[in-house]
Structure 1
Amino acid sequence: MDITSDIHSQHISRQFNHELEELKTHLMAMGGLVEKQVQDAVSALLDADSSLAERVVDNDRAVNDMQIKIDDECTRVLARRQPAASDLRLVLAVIRAASDLERIGDEASKIARNAIDLIENNVGNRGFVEVRIIGEHVRRMMRDALTSFARFDTELALQVVQEDEQVDSEYQTAMRSLMTFMMEDARSISPVLGIMWILRALERVGDHANNLAEYVVYLVKGLDIRHTDPDDLDQELGEKS
């Protein structure tokens, strides 16, 4: 059943409505923090700002705390309300989304730690263009995935899913370029490896943003598209609606 025909405002209990809205609100707050973590981690590298990178590492604890709080709230809703249909899908989607956001926070922390090492060793800016491009792309995916969750917007969610393939392509192109550079200059191996780890972390951020978008489709349509080819999504969703 499409969630738009089973909207939460129809509950007899106004408190239940409030609890479900609180889950969404807290998830969006966590998403905002995590998006800023990714932005700050990339900016720390590009601007050679070690202090900013250290703040990203320190803030990872706050991300973890938010996930724990959201999980506790979801557990209470499941135990007290025993939700069904779209309400149950919403709670499950929030649990899954919070887990992916926590992992994005971990990737931001990895980027920041590598940035600190690269800044301290004054290694130049090889690979920075790739980091900037892919960093901006995955941040946009994150923002769109969170917006689609807030609005129950499956069209926007599907755009995020399709963009993940573009990020994967950009990542592979960047890795080939950096591998070639390392082969030509052995002295560059250590710093370029640091950049490669950062690019890998950004690619993983894109994967998690893709997961967030898939949860939106599950939430709204009750359809699991995790193993569906992106080219087949329109047809499958058309059959489901």
Structure 2
Amino acid sequence: MLNNKIGGHYSQAYDDELRQAVERLLAMATLAQQQLSDAMTAFINADRALAKQVKQGDRTVNNFEVDIDEHCLDILARRQPAATDLRLVLSVLKSVNDIERIGDLAKRIAKALLKDESGNRPTEAQLAQLNTMGAKVQQMLARAITAFEQMDADTALAVLREDKAIDDDYAQIMQHSLSSMMDDASQIGVSLQISQVAKALERVGDHARNICQHTIFLCKGRNVAHLTDDELQQVVEKRRD
């Protein structure tokens, strides 16, 4: 359900255009989330058919990006939005870029399975590690999208802090992969495959964090891209005059 802060203009058509921008973004986000979920399922279960579907589905995500970009640019040109309306359009444009990259990363996970011709598979323990990290990333992404939809800076701040746990998981998986390659040269291919998936998941976490920052910008009117978490908290807690 869209936040009721959108709208309230003299022109109902303008309200509808702003709502459509957010609705299309949320539809794109839903697709990208499904792509990521399917990519992880495909990799964990060695489901090559599902991996191929993920790879093919990336074009739909890209088409969403073009459609939303054109819609937002049309609003900028014709409506010349200001204040909150301008921040909304800019936040949608920024978030669209992050969501498109998430779709690319889902495809990368699928391709990690499809490119492997050796038939060697990670151990159950290795797959469990990736699955755990993947679940955290997917939950973080879902909550980031919800924070944007609800224009909730407090939730966005809480969600972006979850990225630290994902970074920790990534570091642990990479350390185990490196040790495995050093101990047994025959594991190099599998370890590289695991590393590719873990890196893609880590990058999804970064993009989810970006979406949270866009939400804070939308709500507070501050560009917070390069602030520390403590500085972000100060921005979120400060009331606008």
- The two structures have a TM-score, normalised by structure 2, of 0.94
- Structure 1 portions without partners, runs of 5+: none
* 2:132 alignment partner in structure 1: 133
**Mapping 1:184-195, distance limit 5 Å:** 184-195=183-194
The answer on whether the counterparts of 2:95 and 2:214 sit within 8 Å (CA) in structure 1 is yes
- Alpha-carbon distance in 1 for matches of 2:190, 2:122: 9
- Structure 2 portions without partners, runs of 5+: none
Percent identity for Structure 1 against Structure 2: 37
Deviations along 1:108-139, one digit per CA (max 9) or x if unpaired, are 10100001234x43212232122101111111
Moved more, 51-60 or 7-16: 7-16
* 1:107 alignment partner in structure 2: 105
The answer on whether the counterparts of 1:37 and 1:56 sit within 8 Å (CA) in structure 2 is yes
Alpha-carbon RMSD: 1.5
The answer on whether the counterparts of 2:112 and 2:193 sit within 8 Å (CA) in structure 1 is yes
* 2:146 alignment partner in structure 1: 147
- Alpha-carbon distance in 2 for matches of 1:124, 1:101: 29
The answer on whether the counterparts of 2:87 and 2:217 sit within 8 Å (CA) in structure 1 is yes
Q: How many aligned positions are there? A: 236
| SS of 1:8 mapped into structure 2 | coil
Supply the AA of the counterpart residue of 1:233: L
| SS of 1:123 mapped into structure 2 | coil
* 1:56 alignment partner in structure 2: 54
Deviations along 1:2-51, one digit per CA (max 9) or x if unpaired, are xx9x9433210010000000011000000000000000000001111000
- Alpha-carbon distance in 2 for matches of 1:149, 1:219: 9
| SS of 1:139 mapped into structure 2 | helix
Deviations along 1:70-121, one digit per CA (max 9) or x if unpaired, are 0000011001100000000000000110111000111110100001234x43
Higher relative contact order (CA 8 A, sep 6+): 1
Structure with the largest fraction of helix: 1
The answer on whether the counterparts of 1:154 and 1:217 sit within 8 Å (CA) in structure 2 is yes
Supply the AA of the counterpart residue of 2:118: N
CA-CA distance at 1:177 after TM superposition: 1.2
- Alpha-carbon distance in 1 for matches of 2:176, 2:57: 33
* 2:84 alignment partner in structure 1: 86
* 1:200 alignment partner in structure 2: 199
* 2:75 alignment partner in structure 1: 77
* 2:38 alignment partner in structure 1: 40
The answer on whether the counterparts of 2:153 and 2:236 sit within 8 Å (CA) in structure 1 is no
* 1:124 alignment partner in structure 2: 121
- Alpha-carbon distance in 2 for matches of 1:80, 1:27: 20
CA-CA distance at 1:235 after TM superposition: 2.4
- Alpha-carbon distance in 1 for matches of 2:223, 2:134: 28
